[in-house]
Amino acid sequence: MTRRPAGRPLVPAYLSTGGVARPSRPHLERLSVLARSGEPPPAGLPAAELALLDTLEDGSLAVVEAAALLRLPVSAVRVLAADLVDRDLVLARAPIPPAERYDPDLLKRVADGLRALKLRP
Amino acid sequence: MIEVPDLVAGALAAGTLSAFALGGGLVRSRRRQHRQLAEIAALRTRLDGTARAFTAEVEHLAARRVPAAARQVAHPHLSVPGPLQPLTVGTPLGIALENVVLALQSEAAAQRTRIDAAAQAGMRGAVREIQAALYRLQDALRGLQQRYDEPELAQTLFRLDHENEQSLRRAQVAAVVCGAWVGLAREESHLVDAVTGGQARLAGYHRVQVHNHLEPGTALVSHAVEPVAVIVAELLDNALRHSAPDTEVVVSLEHVHHGVCVTVDDAGLGMTLDERDRAQRLVAGDDPILLTDLGDPPRMGLAAIGRLTRQFDLSVDVSSASPYGGVRAVLRVDSHLLSRLDPADRPPAASAPRTTRTSRRTAPGRPAAPVPAHAPAHAYGPDAGAPEAPPGHQEPQEDADGLPQRRRRTRAAAPAPAQAPAPGAARRPEEAAAALGALQSGTAAARAAARQPGESVRPDAAADDFDQYDDTDQIHDEGGAAR
């Protein structure tokens, strides 16, 4: 179990991306799922990207989960993940959309119809 | 009547004799008087000469020697002129004048120290407040960074955080120079984290290359963390400042016989012999620090390093030249300031450079963490669950916030051999999952039955749901054997 350090982090988040917070690809969201593509990481990859690849070693993770494990803000992980996707080291999948809510209007019309049927005889 | 002339002759003779005698005496006394007059005149001229010389000496003392002596207190390389008349050296006058100079110098030095101490106290108070305010700002910025991830906003927050780190560094260094504590208590941390943290406090941190050759888990004891970060930041700042913007500053972390060395090499101009001597004297921290010695604007970096090396028993050497042409600064951390952290339990920060040494871990991937000693966080299951936890499985454990944290199973393929449980006490993950699943479906059935007669929601239902969620999760993780 990784113990979360109690104090103020020594290494600020901006160092992980070299101060960049704009990801190279905009479509990564908080719940996008990241998985390793299986390509071996090239030499000279920044330390934070290697760390992200390590967290994906055991399976796929959502962006927020990776951020929590790396103790980095989501914005930084998005930059790192976007770079790794650009290098074909990581595959990103769009988040699974939450189930649609029923349209209350439709429900109301159906209920009205049923009530009308019930009243007719 | 013969006797009268005799008498007269006798009297005359006596008179003549006495007249001669008197005349001789008179002449002698006149001569002596002359001599005395001459002597007095000579003495008077000598006295005049001496008085003039004395006046001139004192005037020289006031006009030249005293100011020079006062200046020498602040600038020891200046020389104090000697007395006007070289002959006075060693005479009582010369010694008395020398004492005047010495007394003045000692009083001036004491006064200078007093004034400087007052200035340091004033500055310490002001800077302390600023430092505390900047830490609060840092907390606010980091909170915002966690909460908002819109790229433009995040970019601004990163920039503000970096600016804040730089201001914080300046305030902290000024406080340390003025004799204050570093201002922040940290817990035991990886040495590479302290170095990377120091690097992040600089404007040109992109130019710094850190090569980590340390054994994984090499850490600093808590009270040495912040001082090492401050010293590394100041050494790096010097290196960045005195090298061309297109060159890199290379940091390497290595084990030496008595501890760890952090070497900072720059490819700049280097220092002259004088500068190097001065720098070495400052970082050694042996001389008391006076703000007035640090120049205007005060160059505080080396002085702060001096204070910290002295306080924390670290050692810094800046006396050698770098093979890259610039300066090589070496910070040595002795082994009594080092400790070890389990990299699996407390990994270094994500942005900290990897060690070039291969880990001594036996299992690939993340090894199973030591089983927590406290009771399991979930609501049901055997009480002795903790020791029976299967290898590779991690109990949900409460972190510092008191919230349970969900963990993935590490790959079951490679349980750490050292952690293999004793036969008999062990259960395979699937068995454990099946048992938990059976228990869960049992309690769920009972709960459903109990809920039937009227009572819809119990007050602690939410808490139960949470636990349930937690356990269901584990069951998914265990491979869904329960369904």
Residue B41's pLDDT is 95
Residue A2 DSSP label: P
Q: Which residues contact B451 (CB under 8 A, 6 or more apart)?
A: none
Task: Give B477 or B403, the one with higher predicted confidence.
Answer: B403
For B233, the token pair is 């930041």
Q: Among residues 401-460 of chain B, which lie with CB inside 8 Å of chain A? A: 401, 405, 407-411
Q: How confident is the model at residue B362 (pLDDT cuts 50, 70, 90)?
A: very low
The type of residue at B401 is D
Q: Dihedral of CA B416/B419/B424/B426: which sign?
A: negative
- Find the angle CA(A81)-CA(A85)-CA(A86) to the nearest 5 degrees: 115
Q: Nearest Cα to B101, choosing from B62, B55, B51?
A: B62
Answer for the pair A6, B193: CB distance below 8 angstroms, yes or no. Answer: no
Mean pLDDT of A39-61: 90
CATH no. of A14-119: 1.10.10
Ranking A92-106, B62-76, B128-142, B267-281 by mean pLDDT, the lowest is A92-106
Q: How confident is the model at residue B481 (pLDDT cuts 50, 70, 90)?
A: very low
Q: Among residues 13-32 of chain B, which lie with CB inside 8 Å of chain A? A: none
DSSP string, B7-65: HHHHHHHHHHHHHHHHHHHHHHHHHHHHHHHHHHHHHHHHHHHHHHHHHHHHHHIIIII
Query: Please, is B172 exposed, middle or buried when counting C-beta atoms within 10 Å of its C-beta (0-12, 13-18, 19+)?
Result: buried
Residue B125's pLDDT is 94
Task: Give A104 or A121, the one with higher predicted confidence.
Answer: A104
Answer for the pair B432, B478: CB distance below 8 angstroms, yes or no. Answer: yes
Q: Give this prediction's pTM.
A: 0.69
Residue A95's pLDDT is 79
Q: Half-sphere exposure (CA, 13 Å, Cβ side) for B302? A: 25
How far CA B421 is from CA of B258, B388, B415, in Å, comes to 38, 8, 10
Residue B247's pLDDT is 92
Mean pLDDT of A115-119: 88
Task: Give B478 or B442, the one with higher predicted confidence.
Answer: B442
Q: How confident is the model at residue B123 (pLDDT cuts 50, 70, 90)?
A: very high
Q: How far is B173 from chain A (nearest CA, A)?
A: 17
Residue B419's pLDDT is 45
Task: Give A101 or B166, the one with higher predicted confidence.
Answer: B166
Which ipTM did the prediction report? 0.79
Q: Among residues 93-112 of chain A, which lie with CB inside 8 Å of chain B? A: none
A81-97 tens-digit pLDDT? 999 999 999 999 887 77
Name every chain B residue with its beta carbon within 8 A of the beta carbon of A20.
155, 158
For residue B4, is pLDDT > 80?
no
Task: Look at residue B405 and give its three-state secondary structure.
Answer: strand
Mean pLDDT of B325-332: 93
Average pLDDT over chain B reads 80
Q: Half-sphere exposure (CA, 13 Å, Cβ side) for B357? A: 13
B381 touches chain A (CB under 8 A): no
Q: How far apart are CA B182 and CA B202, in angstroms?
A: 17
Q: Do A8 and B186 touch (CB under 8 A)?
A: yes
Q: Do B346 and A57 touch (CB under 8 A)?
A: no
Q: Do A11 and B187 touch (CB under 8 A)?
A: no
Residue B336's pLDDT is 94
Task: Look at residue A80 and give its three-state secondary structure.
Answer: helix
Catalogue the E-assigned strands of B105-217: 189-190, 208-212
Residue B334's pLDDT is 94
Q: How far is A119 from chain B (nearest CA, A)?
A: 31
Q: Do A11 and B351 touch (CB under 8 A)?
A: yes
Q: Do A15 and B199 touch (CB under 8 A)?
A: yes
For chain A, the first-to-last Cα distance in angstroms comes to: 67
Residue B11's pLDDT is 86
Q: Nearest Cα to A79, choosing from B355, B408, B155?
A: B155
For residue B471, is pLDDT > 50?
no
Q: How confident is the model at residue B418 (pLDDT cuts 50, 70, 90)?
A: very low
- Give the whole-number percent of chain B exceeding pLDDT 70: 77
Strands B208-212 and B249-256: parallel
Of A57, A70, A73, the CB nearest to B149: A73
For residue B121, is pLDDT > 90?
yes
Residue B2's pLDDT is 55
A44 touches chain B (CB under 8 A): no
Where are chain A's structural domains? 14-119
Q: How confident is the model at residue B371 (pLDDT cuts 50, 70, 90)?
A: very low
- Ranked by mean pLDDT, which of A29-38, B308-317, B436-445 comes out on top? B308-317
B312 touches chain A (CB under 8 A): no
Residue in the block written with tokens 């002085």: B303
Q: Do B365 and A47 touch (CB under 8 A)?
A: no
B196-235 tens-digit pLDDT? 999 999 999 999 999 999 999 999 999 999 999 999 999 9
Q: Which residues contact B426 (CB under 8 A, 6 or more apart)?
A: B388, B390, B391, B420
Q: Do B395 and A1 touch (CB under 8 A)?
A: yes
